[in-house]
Amino acid sequence: MFRVALLVSLFVTSGCAVKPSANTELYEMYVQLSNSVNSNNIATDKEKFFSTTYLSEVIDDDEKSLFLLKIPSYIKTVDSHFQKFNYEQGCLTVNGFEENSEPVSIFVEYKKEFNRWRVNYMYLNMIENKREFVNKAVCPNEVELN
């Protein structure tokens, strides 16, 4: 099975266990981030959505950095989403379709920083068909590529 995956940032492995949740808090943060990206406010709003670790390790003001900030904008139509979290870390999987109707999964790790969930790592996975969508919350470091 052919998969194209794009590693979008450095990752610091966390030993925190996370549990599945019916709560939609992380997805709501993702939607806010996506709305900011789509309204072209991400350059000024980045501190609101991204952890200081993420910003300090992988983000500067060049075009590549803006691409990394805009990962959520690649899904134009959301098919499904799943999340799991504990008090300090959360993971969100968003499955959907990009502008050419090709299936895409985005895996996001959040960390609690200044009493707010902030993106600490994102992984974009371009897949061949909808059957490859993940049907549970998966942290980016748990993604298996075949």
The 3-state secondary structure of 95-145 reads EEECCCCCEEEEEEEEEEECCEEEEEEEEEEECCCHHHCCCCCCCHHHCCC
Residue 146 in any domain: the answer is: no
**Count of domains observed in the chain:** 1
pLDDT digits (tens, 9 = 90+) for 76-89: 999 999 999 887 89
In tens, the pLDDT along 22-56 reads 467 899 999 988 888 766 677 778 888 889 988 88
**Domain assignment present for 115:** yes
| CA gap 65, 15 in Å, rounded | 27
Edge-to-edge strand list for the sheet holding 103-113: 4-7, 116-126, 103-113, 89-97, 77-85, 19-21
For helices 42-49 and 25-38, the axis angle rounded to 10 degrees is 160
In a domain, 51, yes or no: yes
Is 0.75 topped by the overall pTM? yes
11: nearest Cα among 109, 144, 93, 135: 109
pLDDT for res 48: 87
| Tokens 């998966």 belong to residue | 138
Let me know if residue 53 belongs to a domain: yes
Q: Is 145 contained in some domain?
A: no
Instruction: Please report whether residue 43 resides in a domain.
Output: yes
Q: What pLDDT, on a 0 to 100 scale, did the predictor assign at position 55?
A: 84
Q: Which domain holds residue 75?
A: 4-9+22-140
Within-domain flag for 131:
yes
* More confident site: 62 or 106: 106
For residue 133, give the CATH number of its domain: 3.10.450.50
